[in-house]
Amino acid sequence: MHPRRAALALCLAVVATPAVAQRNAIFLHPDGMGANTWMGVRLLEAGPDGRIAFDELPNVAAYVGPLSDRITQSSNGGATTHAWGVRAQKESYGAIDGKPPAAARSGFAGSLMREAQHVGKAVGIVNSSSVTEPGTGAFLASVANRDDEAEIAAQILAAKPEVALGGGEMFFLPEGVRGRHGVGVRTDGRNLVEEARAAGYTVVFTADELEALPVDTPYVLGLFAAEETFNEGTEEGLRKARLAAFQPQAPRFDAMIVFAIARLSRDADGFLLVGNEEATDNFGGENNASAVFDAGAGADRAVRIALDFAQRQGQTTVVVASDSDCGGLLVTGDDVVAGQKVAPRGENGSPQDGGPDGLPFLAAPNRAGVRLPFIATWASASDSSGGVMARGYGPGADLVRGTIDSIDIYRALYLGLFERRID
């Protein structure tokens, strides 16, 4: 572990004691991760008979998430349901029929995060894609078109979360103005980076800058890439372009979660943190199993960080859920031979995937010390319904059991934050 990251982890242990009465909630959204994707992460990280942090969340539910006009959620529709507790539409982004809902499920005239702010809680968003990506952005912004990322960025800044970390620098800068990672695209002439500094934000642009930042910094905006903090593409495409899956200047998802919890937990009134790992979804759409498993392992490290904090603190609810299964990834060891090149397609024509070297993945050693081979197979290049799980820990996670609806994510987080059950 990097020395600074170790220091931040130690900081979490110091601030997180059972004596702290604050009510907190952490929602981690590893986008596109179905149960089979978690299986692949488990195999690689812990072995066939091992367990990962995700497995330690005691409350488990099958997750169903229809929209009002589709059986399968869009990222923005799903995030709107999670943020507002209302049945959203495919095109929703914190909006229904293009307008913010009149009220959230609680009756408050704003999203769950806005209600948390209203009672004095600190709030934060973390995203491995742009901070304007809907998995987190829909908790603070409402727009008619999810592609209006310049407006989303402006609304996020206006909402003034204590922490906003991710990519998306291009949406904060005027058209043609060069930033640390690329050129701005805003057509209204506003420089939101300068506006953020004027509003009291410390703006950081790299993993090293984040790790050097004191956790008592009042407001932190991290813009670690022009758009996504990873390089979306197939294994072959990235190899040809000589690009790593994850951009080296940007912190990984779990490192951002460490900082966010350390900063937000300093607030005596409690906090709400929403984190979205987008790489698991986008690489799933590219059928890039190696990158999906790498991102999924990072999501599991974030689960470990959140769970450890919650167990020490005593009044923190942790909920982990995707809203769809991207790519329909499956893992199989049937008729798989270690060291034998993976055929591009199976007998039924489905795409097959091994590691970067084209050979089967090798699971971590089992209890007998044997590393067993497996491969990934793919069903599609898009989001699918079914095979999605929700898990949880803490006061609000009492609602995470059996089969739950996407609206129940809002209800569980709400119970954790406010000690109130809502219908």
Residue-wise pLDDT tens digits, 10-50: 445 444 444 457 999 999 999 999 999 999 999 999 999 99
**Whether residue 299 has pLDDT greater than 90:** yes
Residue 114 CB contacts under 8 Å (≥ 6 apart), including other chains:
108, 140, 159
Query: Computed over its alpha carbons, how large is the radius of gyration of the chain?
Result: 20
User: How much is the pLDDT for 19?
Assistant: 42
- pTM summary value: 0.95
Do residues 336 and 44 lie in contact, with contact meaning Cβ atoms separated by under 8 Å?
no
C-alpha 219/C-alpha 165 separation (Å) is 11
The candidate with the shortest Cα–Cα distance to 69, out of 98, 92, 85, 102, is 92
Task: Tell me whether residue 240 is exposed, middle or buried, using C-beta atoms within 10 angstroms of its C-beta: 0 to 12, 13 to 18, 19 or more.
Answer: exposed
Instruction: Write out pLDDT tens, residues 247-273.
Output: 999 999 999 999 999 999 999 999 999
Residue 333 Cα distances to 262, 293, 349, 372, angstroms: 41, 16, 17, 8
User: How much is the pLDDT for 241?
Assistant: 97
Residue 116 token pair:
């948390």
Provide the residue ranges of all domains of the chain, joining segments of one domain with +: 3-13+22-329+378-418, 333-377
Please tell me which residue, 345 or 5, carries the higher pLDDT value.
Answer: 345
Long-range pairs, 197-202, Cβ under 8 A, ≥24: 199/157, 199/160
Residue 262 token pair:
């350390």
Q: Where are any strands of DSSP class E within 187-343?
A: 201-204, 219-223, 271-277, 316-321, 325-326, 330-332
User: How much is the pLDDT for 9?
Assistant: 53
Do residues 352 and 290 lie in contact, with contact meaning Cβ atoms separated by under 8 Å?
no
Helix or strand (DSSP H, E) at 403: strand 402-405
3-13+22-329+378-418: what fold?
Answer: Alkaline Phosphatase, subunit A (3.40.720)
C-alpha 88/C-alpha 390 separation (Å) is 19
User: How much is the pLDDT for 21?
Assistant: 72
User: How much is the pLDDT for 254?
Assistant: 98
C-alpha 261/C-alpha 80 separation (Å) is 23
C-alpha 237/C-alpha 221 separation (Å) is 32
Residue 174 token pair:
């005027």
Percentage of residues in the chain with pLDDT exceeding 90? 94
Least confident of 104-113, 222-231, 270-279, 381-390: 381-390
Handedness of CA 410, 390, 24, 157 (dihedral sign): negative
Least confident of 16-25, 79-88, 185-194: 16-25
Task: Tell me whether residue 147 is exposed, middle or buried, using C-beta atoms within 10 angstroms of its C-beta: 0 to 12, 13 to 18, 19 or more.
Answer: exposed
Instruction: Write out pLDDT tens, residues 118-133.
Output: 999 999 999 999 999 9
Q: What is the mean pLDDT of the chain?
A: 94
Do residues 169 and 223 lie in contact, with contact meaning Cβ atoms separated by under 8 Å?
yes
C-alpha 54/C-alpha 119 separation (Å) is 31
What's the DSSP call for residue 171?
G
Task: Name the 3-class secondary structure at 377.
Answer: strand
